Amino acid sequence: MIHPTGPVRFDQARPLAETVARDAAASGVDVLLVRDISGRFSLLVDDRVKAVDEGRAEGWRELLTTTLGKYAAGRPILFASSLFQPGDLFDSPRVSPLIGYHPGAGEGRIQLLENTVVGEDWAKVSTPVADADGVRTARTAVYGIKGGVGRSTATFMLGKHLANLGHCVLVVDLDLESPGSGPLLVAEDQLPEYGIVDQLVESALGNDEGLDLVAQATHAQIKGNGELWVAPARGRGVPGVEYAYVEKLNRVYADVPAQGVSSFADRLEVAVSACEGAVERESRRPDVVIIDSRAGIHDIAAVALSRLCDLALLFGADNRQTWEGYRDLFTAWRSSGQAPAIREKLRMIASMVPDAKDRPQGPYLEAFRDHAWSCFSVLYDDLAGDDASGFNPSPEDESAPHAPIPILFTLELVGLDAGTTPGWDDLSFVRTAYDSFLETTTRLMIEGP
C-alpha cells in the first residue's frame, strides 16, 4: 500500500481506495468503488447475497477514512441492502470493471463508478449502428489533441477528394468554439439559416423540426456526380434577427431531458443524424460523413471519437506537447477498460511534415513513428513470451494505429486564404502535400480500418 508522507492528493487516492476494495472483495462480496465529482471515494458493498460482519465493515470504514484523508467520502462505506434500488448502481452502464483485478475462487468482483462534471464520455466507446434498413453511413472523426495542426484544411481536402470519387459526402463542423471547416467550405451568404448549435439548443425544447441545417459546399468545385454537403457550426441566421451565437453556445452542453434524450452525448448523436437526414431530404443519403471535431480533451471530442465514428484520424506534430497530450488520453482509455474497443479504429496523422535539407522528411517520419509507437503502446496489450493472441503491433507495422500518415508542410500554405484564392486546392504543391494522406485515408474510410 502507498503511504503518503503528506496530505493525500488526487492521484494517490485511487490506488489507496483500490487496496481497501481488494480487501473487501477478498471476503467474497462484490464491491463498487464510487468516486464523486470532487474525487472522494466511497465503497458500496453488495451484502444482498452474503452478509458482512459489522466488525470487518468497520475496519474498511476506518481504513478508508484514515488513509484517504480528504478523499474519503462522508459515508465511506455503504451497503446495498440499505439502498432503495442498488441494482441501478451495480448494473449501471457507467460502471466498469477494475483494470488489473482478476478475482480468484471465493472472491468478489470489483467495479468502478466515476462521477464527473465533464469528460465522462471518454470512457464510453461504441460503434455507430446501422439504420433500420441495415445501411450504415461511414463516419470518420478528424481530431487533434492540440490546435493549429491543419485539421480543417485536411477536412476540406478529404471531403472534396471523396466527392470527386462520386461519393455523397457530409462534413459536420463540431468545432463549435472555433468553427473551421464550415467557413472554409461555404460562403457566408450561402450558409444554411441554422447550424449545429441551433439544433442542439432547439432539440432541448423539442423544437428542432424543420431546421435548415445543411448547404452544398461553394468553395470546392466537384467533378462528376459526387456531392459535398456541409453542416456548419453556426448558420447565417434569419434576416432582420440578430444571430446570438455565444448565448446559444453557453447552453449546448447542459444535460437536459428532451424527448427521451437527456445527455449531451445522446443529443450530439441526434444532431449528427439530423444533419444526415437533412442531406437525404435535399438529395440522397450521404455515404460518407466527416466530423471535424474540436481539439483537446473536451466533451465534443469525447463523443466524436468514442461514439460517433468508426474511424478516428488523430493529428499531431512530432513534439512533446503532442505525445504528452495523447498519452494522457490513452491512459484514460486504458484505465477505463476501453482500450480494446477503440484502439483499432485510430490512425495517426503526421501533419505539417517538413522536407528540407536541415529537416529531411525520412528521418522526421522515422522519429515520429517511434514516438507514436511509444505513446500508443499504452493502448496495446502487454504480451509475454510467445503469446501472440493480443494486440501489440511492431513499430514498423505500416497498418498499425501508430503508423504515421503524412501531410507535407510547404511554406506556400502559410497564410493562404482559401476564401479569396480560387482553385488553391488544385495547385500542384497542395496536391503534393496531401497525396499520401488522401490515398490512405480514402482506403481506410471506404474499406474500413
Whether 102 and 225 share a structural domain: no
How large is the average pLDDT for residues 104-112?
91
Whether 107 and 165 share a structural domain: no
Are 180 and 149 spatial neighbours (Cβ–Cβ below 8 Å)? Answer: no
Are 176 and 299 spatial neighbours (Cβ–Cβ below 8 Å)? Answer: no
Residue 2 belongs to a domain: no
Helices (H), 295-447: 299-303, 320-335, 339-342, 361-376, 428-447
Whether 49 and 141 share a structural domain: no
Whether 329 and 214 share a structural domain: yes
Judged against a pLDDT cut of 80, whether residue 155 lies above it is answered with: yes
pLDDT band, residue 429 (cuts 50/70/90): confident
Judged against a pLDDT cut of 70, whether residue 160 lies above it is answered with: yes
Task: Please give the residue that has the higher pLDDT: either 297 or 389.
Answer: 297
pLDDT at 33: 92
How large is the average pLDDT for residues 80-88?
83
pLDDT at 352: 86
Judged against a pLDDT cut of 90, whether residue 428 lies above it is answered with: no
Whether 97 and 132 share a structural domain: no
Residue 379 belongs to a domain: yes
* Total domains, the chain: 2
Quote the pTM value.
0.80
Which of 115, 131, 153 is a domain's end point? 115
**Residue 239, all three cell numbers:** 434576416
How large is the average pLDDT for residues 56-63?
92
Annotate 192-260 with DSSP letters as a single string: -S--HHHHHHHHTTT--TT----EE-SSS---TT-EEEEE-SS----TTS---HHHHHTTTT----BTT
Judged against a pLDDT cut of 60, whether residue 286 lies above it is answered with: yes
Whether 215 and 290 share a structural domain: yes
Residue 3 belongs to a domain: no
Helices (H), 51-195: 54-68, 87-90, 151-164, 181-185
pLDDT at 255: 65
How large is the average pLDDT for residues 229-234?
96
CB atoms within 10 A of CB 340: 15
Residue 1 belongs to a domain: no
Residue 4 belongs to a domain: no
What domain range includes position 49? 10-115
Residues in the chain: 449
pLDDT > 90 fraction of the chain, expressed in percent and rounded: 45
Judged against a pLDDT cut of 90, whether residue 220 lies above it is answered with: no
pLDDT at 303: 86
140 closest CA partner among 315, 373, 322: 315
When mean pLDDT is compared across 214-228, 267-281, 299-313, 405-419, the lowest value belongs to 405-419
36 closest CA partner among 7, 85, 75: 75
pLDDT band, residue 340 (cuts 50/70/90): confident
Q: What is the DSSP letter of 213?
A: -
With residue 4 as reference, give the H or E element that holds it.
none
Residue 371 belongs to a domain: yes
How large is the average pLDDT for residues 24-29?
92
Are 377 and 390 spatial neighbours (Cβ–Cβ below 8 Å)? Answer: no
Judged against a pLDDT cut of 70, whether residue 320 lies above it is answered with: yes
Are 45 and 79 spatial neighbours (Cβ–Cβ below 8 Å)? Answer: yes
Q: What is the mean pLDDT of the chain?
A: 86
Judged against a pLDDT cut of 90, whether residue 130 lies above it is answered with: no
Cβ-based neighbours of 406, under 8 Å, separated by 6 or more: 349, 350, 353, 361, 365, 436, 437
pLDDT at 418: 59
Whether 348 and 271 share a structural domain: yes
Whether 156 and 75 share a structural domain: no
Whether 91 and 143 share a structural domain: no
pLDDT at 447: 77
The pLDDT tens digits for 358-388 are 777 889 999 999 999 999 999 998 866 555 5
pLDDT band, residue 141 (cuts 50/70/90): very high
pLDDT at 121: 55
When mean pLDDT is compared across 33-37, 203-207, 375-379, the lowest value belongs to 203-207
Q: At 308, which CATH number? A: 3.40.50.300
How large is the average pLDDT for residues 186-205?
90
pLDDT at 388: 59
13, 18, 20, 26 alpha-carbon torsion, rounded to 10° = 180
Residue 332 belongs to a domain: yes
Which of 88, 115, 142 is a domain's end point? 115
Residue 249 belongs to a domain: yes
pLDDT band, residue 204 (cuts 50/70/90): confident
Are 43 and 31 spatial neighbours (Cβ–Cβ below 8 Å)? Answer: yes
Judged against a pLDDT cut of 60, whether residue 127 lies above it is answered with: no
Q: Please, what is the Cα angle at 284 between 280 and 289, to 5 degrees? A: 75
The pLDDT tens digits for 386-425 are 555 688 999 999 999 999 999 988 766 666 665 566 677 7
Judged against a pLDDT cut of 70, whether residue 227 lies above it is answered with: yes
How large is the average pLDDT for residues 45-49?
89
What's the burial of 162, exposed, middle or buried (CB within 10 Å: 0-12/13-18/19+)?
buried
Whether 50 and 34 share a structural domain: yes
Are 218 and 185 spatial neighbours (Cβ–Cβ below 8 Å)? Answer: yes
Task: Please give the residue that has the higher pLDDT: either 247 or 122.
Answer: 247
Which of 115, 148, 169 is a domain's end point? 115
Whether 103 and 131 share a structural domain: no
Whether 100 and 195 share a structural domain: no
How large is the average pLDDT for residues 151-161?
92
